[in-house]
Structures are given as C-alpha cells and as structure tokens.
Chains A and B, each alone.
Chain A
Amino acid sequence: MSWKQLEEGAVVKGGTSSSYIVSGWRVKKPIINEAKCTNCLICWIYCPEPAILRHEGGKVTIDYDHCKGCGICETECPPKAITMVKET
C-alpha cells in the first residue's frame, strides 16, 4: 500500500486485534472443568487477551480464536479448574 494511503504515524482504530485469529499459536489449550469452577473471574482478569468470555450469571468460557495458549489462566485459577491440554 502506498505511503499516502496509510494512516499517519500508524495511529489506527482500536480493537483491531479482535479480527486477528491466533488459535494457531497454541501448543496447549485450556479446558475449564465446570464442576470445579466457582466463577470467581480471576482467569478473566489475568488473561492478557480478551480470550475469557463472561456470560450471564458469571459463567466463563474460552474464546479459542483469541487464546494463544499461554497458560496463565491455569496457573492463576484458585480452585484449579483450568487444565492445559496438548492440542491434537
């Protein structure tokens, strides 16, 4: 693209990473054990990407399109309800 068409100083609209699928980056993926999950939202706070989705009533699920498989959620989960499982 010509320099004339690019945004000045590479200042662009925010939130563009939501359209960028990173699921291919993962070696392991987090699996939530719903029986152990207390909906404390610690994973939602710690996740460096917006890959933990909050639902009505506090239930959490994982947005695998935006999860890079870093495993922070597994480490931080107080009731050990998240386990990293090797991608197949």
Chain B
Amino acid sequence: MTQAQTARVAALQGDEAVAEAVRQSDVDVIAAYPITPQTIIVEKLAEFVADGKLKGEFIPVESEHSALSACIGASATGARVFTATSSQGLAYMHEMLYNVSGMRLPIVMAVANRALSAPLVLNADHSDMMGSRDSGWIQIYAENVEEIYDRTIQLFKLSEDPRVMLPSVISFEGFILSHDKERVRLLDDEPVRRFLERPRHIHRLDPDEPLTFGAIANPDNYYEFRKQQSEAMNTALHVFDEVEMDFEALGGRVYGAVDAYNTDGADTVMVINGCAAGTMRAAARSLNASGENVGVLAIKLYRPFPVEQVVAHLSEAKSVITMDRSMSIGAPSGPLSEDVKASLQASGMSKQVMSVVYGIGGRDMSVEDGKNIFGMAKEGSSFGAALMYGVKV
C-alpha cells in the first residue's frame, strides 16, 4: 500500500465521498435534481461550485429527465459531466439513459439505491439499478464508502477511454452507505487530476463544424450501432483492469471486477452484489471457523458482467447461492441469479443454484441471516424456485 499518496483521512458519508471525488475529478458540468437518499451529493456539489472549490457549472433543473438532458448537451460539447439520482429519479431518466449510451457520451452518474414506489419507501434495494440494467451503462456496485470514493474517480477514466466511450454508474445502497460515516483515505487533488488527464478524442459541438447527435438510423443500420456498444462493453471489461492497475499505483487500493472469499474448493459459494457482501463474508467466516467450507463471490462490476471470472470462481463449488436485492416479478428468479445461471450454462457447467431474494425495500440483512441461508443451501431443500428470504408469512 502506497500510503504516501494518501493526503488525509476523513470520516465521510457515502454521498459526501461521491461529492469529494467529483470535485477532485475536475468536472465541468453537473446537472442534478435532489432526491432522498442522494440529496447530500447534490447539496455538497452545489456548495463546492458556489464556494469556487469546483470550477464548473451547476445547472439546477426541475426534474431528473431534464437533469440528464442537460448532461447530454453538456457532454456533447466535450465537457466532463456528472449527475446523481435514486429510485424514481433514475426511473424518470430512463428514456434519456439510452440516448446517453447510444450517443456514446461518457457521463458518470452516482445512484444511491432506493426501492421504487408504490408503496413509498426511502430505503434501499437494487430495483432502481436493475430497471436500467439493459440501458448500455457500465454498472459498478460499491461495498463501502472508500470504495464509492475510489470508484467514482475510476469511472471517469473508464468511461472516457477512447476504446470504451460509454456512460457509467456507481451504485451503492441508500442510507446504509449514502448516510453512513466511514473512514476514507482521501487522495491529493493533483494526482487525481493527473490520473484523469483530459481526453482529446471526445466529440465537441462546434458552430464552425456542426455535428448531428441522435441521427436517424433505419433498420438497415440501427442494429450495427448496438453492435458497436456491445463491443465497447466487452472492451470495457479489459480497460477496467487497466484502470484499476493505474489507480492502484495512485491510491494503493485494488478491488477487482469480483471479490472472492474462499471460493477455491468451497462446498457452497454465495454470489452477491452491494454492501451485504461484507455481511455475508462475516457469516461465511463464522461458519468456516466451525468446520463448514463456504465462500462468497461479490460482483463489483455488474455491467459488463465478468462471465469468465464468475465461472472460474464457481467451477469447484458443489452448489451456488445467488442473492438478489431486487425482484423481477413473474420471472423465474432475480436478475443477478439469471446472469449467474446463464454464465454457468454458457460454460457448459451444471450446478445446483439456490436463487434468493433478500433486503427488499431496505429490509435488514444480518450475519445470522447469512448463516441461515447457507444452512438452507446445505439442507438442499430450496433449490429450484426463487426464495423470498425473510418475507413474513
């Protein structure tokens, strides 16, 4: 760990960590609309701009749809652009999400997860992010506040890479991480600035050399533009590793596209994304201390989905548990579960998979819950149908 690069240690909430990372990333334009639990991000950034600590434009808007629309215009000029939202706000951006990715604008967004209304709830699940899963944005799920900070900086580099040019989201659970104060080792402004050197390849709207954004593509070539995005996503998987290596030299921290705990030779491996991964590792450690042999695979990079790494870590497991913090109502299982099962199938592997839904609408998930779920997998009674863990019956 290169401690020398760490300028100062601070206690920051997840939202504050995003705002600090955005300030240091020297963003040119921010357009965002406040929504709980993301509000602190918007407040902090407005403050930074007002105080001259961030020399960018803060565009106050009347809705999330307008926020992302303003971001599109700004990004098309070649500016570095950031926005943040949650829940209904992300749903309201939905139409524009596809315009951003389709026009290959490297906008970075933070999403403090919140379950969707109705009924109205302020607490977290992943249904906001999963609703935009197929919109062509790179998606990263952070587990703690320091990771939120690091990932926000990394995403500008990943998105703006000429081989990628795709928008990206840093996702983290509302309140559990957005409002939780944790220890963060902050970097100096200058090294971050050097890390995020200004790209020169990005399209710039210029009155002297006009460009068309959002042109019509008829059925004879629309499909090919989607193929371009798909290829860029595949490339992003490799560029992600490069960005992480560069960042490790800067901050001494590396996370990986997946984080594997005791997956080699484990009887059961649990696959999970988001902050409950740490809770599940604690459950697994406790079980392993009493003679069990279980592992946890945390998915950090969800889009592009790291198929090869996931399959490699599951190859020795006798059974697999998938943990979805969102529901695809009417589907055989949650979205993460289906990605895992599809990855295994594509690799010619047949595993017993127990698909679990948990933490919906902010329902707590404890170490004991984790042990229970591993216990259910051991009994082998719950394979097949998706299990709504913890629902009151």
A complexed with B: yes
Question: Is the CB of B231 closer than 8 A to any CB of chain A?
Answer: yes
Q: Is the CB of A9 within 8 A of B225?
A: yes
Q: A10's contact among B165, B217, B227, by CB below 8 Å, is which?
A: B217
Interface flag for B214 (CB, 8 Å): yes
Give B301 Cβ to nearest chain A Cβ, in Å. 22
Q: Mark B221-248, 1 if CB is under 8 A from A, else 0.
A: 1001101100100000000000000000
| B227: chain A residues within 8 A (beta carbon) | 3
Smallest CB separation, B351 vs chain A (Å): 35
Mark each residue of chain B from 194 to 222: 1 if its CB lies under 8 Å from any CB of chain A, else 0. Answer: 00000000010000011111110100010
For chains A and B in complex, what number of residue pairs have CB atoms within 8 angstroms? 49
Q: Which of B104, B105, B210, B221 contacts A1 (CB 8 A)?
A: B221
> Are the C-beta atoms of B212 and A9 separated by less than 8 Å?
no
Q: Check B211–A3 contact: CB distance below 8 A.
A: no
* B window 19-51: CB within 8 A of A: none
Partner of A6, one of B102, B210, B213, B224: B224
Find A12's partner among B215, B228, B231 (CB 8 Å cutoff): B215
User: Quick check: is A14 within 8 A (CB to CB) of the other chain?
Assistant: yes
The interface residues of chain A lying within 8 Å CB-to-CB of B221 are: 1, 6
CB atoms of B228 and A13 under 8 A apart:
no
Binding site for B on A (CB under 8 A): 1-3, 6, 8-16
For B165, B210, B212, B214, the residue with the greatest tally of chain A CB atoms inside 10 Å of its CB is B212
19 more contacts with CB within 8 A, not counting A1-B221, A11-B203, A15-B210, are A3-B224, A3-B227, A3-B231, A6-B221, A8-B104, A8-B165, A9-B102, A9-B104, A9-B165, A9-B225, A9-B228, A10-B214, A10-B225, A11-B212, A11-B213, A12-B211, A13-B210, A13-B211, A14-B211
Q: Are A11 and B103 in contact (CB under 8 A)?
A: yes
Residues of A within 8 A of B165 (CB): 8-9
Is the Cβ of A3 less than 8 Å from the Cβ of B212? no
Specify which chain A residues have a CB less than 8 angstroms from the CB of B203 in the assembled complex: 11
Q: Which residues of B contact A16 (CB under 8 A)?
A: 212, 215
A6 contact set on B, CB distance < 8 A: 221, 224-225, 228
* Bound Cα distance A2, B227 (Å): 10
Shortest CB distance A77–B (Å): 29
Q: When A9-B103, A10-B102 are in contact, do A1 and B224 touch as well, CB less than 8 Å?
A: yes
The majority secondary structure among interface residues of chain B is loop
Size category of the B interface is 20 to 34
Q: Residues of B contacting A8 with CB < 8 Å?
A: 104, 165, 228
Bound: A13/B102 CA distance, A: 17
Q: How many angstroms between the C-alpha atoms of A3 and B234 in the bound complex? A: 15
Cα distance A6–B217 when bound, in Å? 11
Asked if B104 and A11 make an inter-chain contact with CB atoms under 8 angstroms apart, the answer reads yes
Known A6-B221, A8-B165; contact A14-B210, beta-carbon cutoff 8 A = yes
Q: In angstroms, how far is the closest chain B Cβ from the Cβ of A21?
A: 16
- Complex Cα distance, B168 from A35, in Å, reads 60
Could you say which residues of chain B place their CB within 8 Å of the CB of A10? 102-103, 214-215, 217, 225
> Hey, which chain B residues are within 8 Å of A9, CB to CB?
102-105, 165, 213, 225, 228
Convert B98-135 into 0s and 1s, putting 1 for each residue whose CB lies closer than 8 angstroms to a CB of A: 00001111000000000000000000000000000000
B224, chain A: closest CB distance, angstroms: 4
Interchain residue pairs with CB less than 8 A apart (20):
A1-B221, A2-B224, A3-B224, A6-B221, A8-B104, A8-B165, A8-B228, A9-B104, A9-B105, A9-B213, A9-B225, A10-B102, A10-B215, A10-B217, A11-B104, A11-B203, A12-B211, A12-B212, A13-B210, A14-B209
Closest CB in chain A relative to B387 CB, distance in Å: 41
- Nearest Cβ in chain A — how far from B84, in angstroms? 23
Q: How far is the CA of A12 from the CA of B225 in the complex (A)?
A: 13
- With both chains docked as a complex, state the minimum distance between the C-beta of A16 and any C-beta of chain B, in angstroms: 7
B211 partner, pick from A1, A2, A11, beta carbons under 8 A:
A11
Selected contact of A3 from candidates B105, B213, B214, B228, CB within 8 Å: B228
Give the distance in Å from the alpha carbon of A1 to the alpha carbon of B223 in the complex: 11
Interface centre among A1, A3, A15 (most CB of B within 10 A): A3
Question: Hey, which chain B residues are within 8 Å of A14, CB to CB?
Answer: 209-212
